[in-house]
Amino acid sequence: MATKMTRDDYLAFHKKLCEEARSLSAKKNADYAGGDGLQPFANFERCEYLGITTTEKGFLVRLTDKISRLSTFSDSGEFQVSSENFEDTILDVINYSCLLAAYVKSKNCTVENCCDDAEC
């Protein structure tokens, strides 16, 4: 099946989708990180504090949930949970991936090697 999207169309779509994901992440993370915003990974670190699994694997569990939902959608063409659609699930995959990447990066940061540094 031929696609009607050009590379420029794709890049514009990518930018819009990532902007939507970032906006959603800011809203959701405010709920999970607390009012002070000092613990953006708190709900994932809780897995480790409770002795369930590592923080990293906590991220992967949530990603697996979303991939499973997309797999089911791929098979049936519909979502059983009416409050979440295809785009919502894709946005969550983007955000969980970014959260995991940021968490891993933050583990490598020190006072001398600030997280604002691209090489951190």
Is residue 59 a contact partner of residue 96, using CB atoms and an 8 Å limit? yes
- Report how far residue 94's alpha carbon sits from residue 15's, in angstroms, rounded to the nearest whole number: 12
Range 80-90 burial, b when 16+ CB lie within 10 A, else e: eeeeeeeeebe
pLDDT, tens digit, 9 for 90 and up, residues 18-55: 999 999 999 988 888 766 778 899 989 999 999 999 99
Is residue 22 a contact partner of residue 30, using CB atoms and an 8 Å limit? no
Is residue 47 a contact partner of residue 54, using CB atoms and an 8 Å limit? yes
pTM of the model: 0.84
Is residue 59 a contact partner of residue 103, using CB atoms and an 8 Å limit? yes
**Does residue 117 have a pLDDT over 70?**
no
